[in-house]
Amino acid sequence: MVAEADGSGSGESFDVDVVVVGAGFSGLYLLHRLRQLGFSTLVLDAAGDVGGTWYWNRYPGARCDIPTTDYSYSFDPQLERDWTWSEKYATQPEILSYLRFVADRYDLRRDIVFSTRVESAAWDESATRWRIRTGNGRELSCRFYVMASGCLSLPKAPEIDGHDRFRGETYHTSRWPHEGVDFTGKRVAVIGTGSSGIQSIPLIAAQATQLTVFQRTANFSIPARNGPPSAERLAALESDRDAYREAARRSRGGVPGDVTEVAGAYATDEVRRARFEAAWEAGELLEILGVFNDLMLSPTANKVIAEMLREKIRSIVADPDTAEALCPKDHPFGSKRPCLDTNYFQTYNLPHVRLVDLRKQPIVTITESGIVTTDESFEFDAIVYATGFDAMTGPVVAVDIRGRDGVSLREKWADGPSTYLGLTTAGFPNFFTITGPGSPSVLSNMAVSIEQHVDWVADCLDQLRARDFETIEPTPLAEAGWNQHVDDGASITLYPTANSWYMGANVPGKPRTFLPYVAGVDVYRAACEEVVDRDYLGFSLAGKGVSQCNDGVIRRLQVDVAMVLRVMEELQLPPMELMTVEDARAFMQMTEAVRPPGPVVGEVVDGVLPGAAEDLPYRLYRPATPGPHPMVAYFHGGGWVLGSLESDDPLCRDLCVRSDAVIVSVNYRHAPEARFPAAADDAFAAVRWIARHAKELGGIPGQLVVAGWSAGANVAAVACQLARDAGGPDILGQVLLTPVVDARMDRPSYVENAEGFVLTAPLMRWFWDHYADPADRDDPKASPLVGNFSNLPPALIVTAEFDPLRDEGVALAEALAAAGVPVHHLAARGHVHTSLTMVDVVLSGADLRAQMGAVMQSFFRATVKA
């Protein structure tokens, strides 16, 4: 039990199982859960009462921006029945009352010490305990230490010269006086137009005689349309509470709702407008952020919405200069947290309200009586700082936390946070963060994310105790893997393009890394659950005489690749190798009809060229740049059985743009109608014809690369060997994307990646069976890996980590290099066989295709120089 939790600072030291920092949403629920499990727990908070965010942020207009029906605890059905929210977006006093109600209901205050700031925490290896020191001199020891210290709890100090000189009243929105402030008759300045500024400005304007708003960055905001809680939402909740809450837990953002299939980049103007207006009317952040499925992925889609939002601002604000200054133009919509407002833009139509654009006239200094900008001098009675927070990492590293060997967390995170699951960090045993960096946290409904983290931590401590483990700590491998995954996820989105607090950009000197995990609450929860199901994958557990380390990386697929695989799994498609050839071809065509088209090129021309036995259709893609261009003879994938000019159309467009070359995609004869060596012979015939007709095709004679994907890469590699043996044509390079090069399907990648990554080992066997008799398969025209590699053109070989063909591609790269052929080998980490061809679907493939384009250009340049 906890001894005397009175926070008196008597210097007395006492021991508990768990110390929790923070008595907000997180700390309260954690205390409740840990108590239920019988752990002695002490919660410390610098605040004078429970509430966290809702204790501190008492500025006028402070409200939640997730509907309160959803922004509340779900762990106790009776609690939900006993509390009724009065508004769609409750005010700060109401949310604080709720958290007080929760604290009273579960008698939580008796284990909480208020007005106590934790200053340091050090891991004592010999005692396997944390030693905690507070600002008022109390020392505590605990086995487990949890920072439930909030993502937005450390206000950012104003970095304006002279800010401490001002003699009038000064306020920070997140440290608002409890008794409130009356601005009647006062000249007021508000510095900052983030969420707090946008919420408070209309209410301050209603009192002040004069209000001047100093804006550095214009922010997007939509009307909250506050009122009573949504009847529809309440009905859904009341009809099946458990299903509703479960839907929230399994949703992207932590609020139940449908995920749209509309991609803004390709939707018609009518659809775009209709979806935007509906979201604008709904007044919900997750609605407008979910207006298109590619809003945070596609600059095109994002620009559409950003412009519609700017139109709204221009239609509301009467003065055109003010309207223009209020229009955000320096970041994509959503890349900074958008705001919900009540009459924010309308406020600038009031005669006593003025906007000062700090981009045009920066603040020079604050004086005793006001603010001086480069152009003007202002006098004020009060200055309100709405300058935000040192988000997510700030409150954690504000405490001097030292793990094994005295290593400081602040130093470990000097270049950006490093966590496993946003919950733990290597070198700091028995230390947890609630909604830490690397978890969905501020991108989600935090109530849902908090409950999930608290449950994970509580269950973990329970399991450790049951199995006699005393410590838990992530491994460096697991942590590095998670960091990579978090970075990979962010890097395909528009988030990192903004100077936002998500990126740490609002705090001078803070490293720029995207802090939250973008893939969603649902995906994240599944990863956390899987870690536990795989017996704490990536964690070292130890106790007296017992230890376990089940090392590994929880997520190795790229985020978008995993998403594609999930969708395919949900469709429960029959395995292709069990289909007839006709059905498989029909299925391929169906999928082609619903995918994004790929980039626009200068010209697309269809034609026919003579193959080895009959005419073959080809499609030529010409860059928009002035010609003539180098040429690429391209062969599509599809296991010699499937595929067509259509199947690889987006990829050909993409390669055309990136390589600035004419791509001639050739539809060679397919098996089983035309078996080995028809495809290979056709490929060689096509290469010869393209080389001979370069000029008529708008190409540069002598500037030819041969390329292909999968089975197309097989025939491309074969064509290069045949051209060498025939003494021509000259080929400057071979570009082989996840090639099939060896019929022996026995390399480790065939076992590791046999199932589950689109191209399966059984499907590959099906392709081979349709294409070539076993007796023919070790012919170099079928398996170019058994050929002769001397004097072959330089090669670019791309292998995908989760592809049965990976190891044969690697073997080809090694064999070519050993024979003196220059080889670029791109190993596509986290990708599957089809990833790079899924243009505008698997965005994480774009960077690799850019590298392919650059290498192709280098093939052409090398000859030009020679």
Ligand X SMILES: Cc1cc2nc3c(=O)[nH]c(=O)nc-3n(C[C@H](O)[C@H](O)[C@H](O)COP(=O)(O)OP(=O)(O)OC[C@H]3O[C@@H](n4cnc5c(N)ncnc54)[C@H](O)[C@@H]3O)c2cc1C
Query: Which of 85, 768 has the CB closer to ligand X?
Result: 85
Select from 178-186, 443-451, 467-475, 500-508 the region that touches ligand X (CB under 6 A): 443-451
Taking CB under 6 A as the rule, which mask of x and - marks residues 787-806 in contact with ligand X? --------------------
Q: Which of 192, 212, 171 is nearest to 57 (CA)?
A: 171
SS3 154: coil
> Helices marked H in 119-266 — which ranges?
195-207, 231-239, 241-249
Of positions 40, 53, 734, 749, contacts ligand X by CB under 6 A: 53
Select from 42-50, 578-586, 589-597, 832-840 the region that touches ligand X (CB under 6 A): 42-50
Distance of alpha carbon 444 from its chain centroid, rounded? Answer: 12
Q: Does 399 bind ligand X (CB under 6 A)?
A: yes
Taking CB under 6 A as the rule, which mask of x and - marks residues 356-395 in contact with ligand X? ---------------------------------------x
Q: Does 192 bind ligand X (CB under 6 A)?
A: no
Between CA 230 and CA 446 the distance in angstroms is 20
Q: Does 197 bind ligand X (CB under 6 A)?
A: no
Of positions 65, 287, 451, 522, contacts ligand X by CB under 6 A: 65
Residue 581, number of CB atoms within 10 A of its CB: 16
Q: How far is CA 548 from CA 430, 431, 459, 469, in A?
A: 15, 18, 18, 9
Select from 142-150, 496-504, 555-563, 754-762 the region that touches ligand X (CB under 6 A): 142-150
Query: Which of 44, 188 has the CB closer to ligand X?
Result: 44
Q: Which of 629, 621, 823 is nearest to 736 (CA)?
A: 823
Residue 583 neighbours by CB under 8 Å, 6+ apart? none
Q: Minimal distance in Å, beta carbon 314 to ligand X?
A: 28
Residue 153 neighbours by CB under 8 Å, 6+ apart? 22, 24, 52, 53, 56, 389, 394, 395
Between CA 577 and CA 768 the distance in angstroms is 11
Contact between residue 860 and residue 661 where contact means Cβ atoms under 8 Å apart: yes
Query: Which of 118, 557 has the CB closer to ligand X?
Result: 118
Q: Does 46 bind ligand X (CB under 6 A)?
A: yes
SS3 113: strand
Taking CB under 6 A as the rule, which mask of x and - marks residues 80-119 in contact with ligand X? -------------------------------------xx-
Between CA 620 and CA 209 the distance in angstroms is 69
Q: Minimal distance in Å, beta carbon 804 to ligand X?
A: 43
Select from 44-52, 122-130, 184-192, 413-421 the region that touches ligand X (CB under 6 A): 44-52
Of positions 200, 219, 435, 714, contacts ligand X by CB under 6 A: 435
Of positions 69, 445, 493, 844, contacts ligand X by CB under 6 A: 445
Query: Which of 27, 192 has the CB closer to ligand X?
Result: 27
Q: Does 520 bind ligand X (CB under 6 A)?
A: no
Between CA 733 and CA 704 the distance in angstroms is 7
SS3 610: strand
Of positions 17, 22, 585, 697, contacts ligand X by CB under 6 A: 22
Of positions 5, 34, 62, 286, contacts ligand X by CB under 6 A: 62
Between CA 865 and CA 861 the distance in angstroms is 6
Q: Minimal distance in Å, beta carbon 537 to ligand X?
A: 26
Q: Minimal distance in Å, beta carbon 181 to ligand X?
A: 16
Contact between residue 555 and residue 489 where contact means Cβ atoms under 8 Å apart: no
Of positions 148, 198, 218, 797, contacts ligand X by CB under 6 A: 148
Select from 51-59, 405-413, 482-490, 847-855 the region that touches ligand X (CB under 6 A): 51-59
Between CA 579 and CA 576 the distance in angstroms is 5
Q: Minimal distance in Å, beta carbon 190 to ligand X?
A: 15
End-to-end Cα separation, the chain, in angstroms:
81
Between CA 402 and CA 147 the distance in angstroms is 13
Applying CB under 6 A, the residues found at the interface with ligand X are: 21-27, 44-47, 52-53, 55, 57, 62, 64-66, 71, 117-118, 148-153, 196, 395, 398-399, 434-435, 445-446, 450
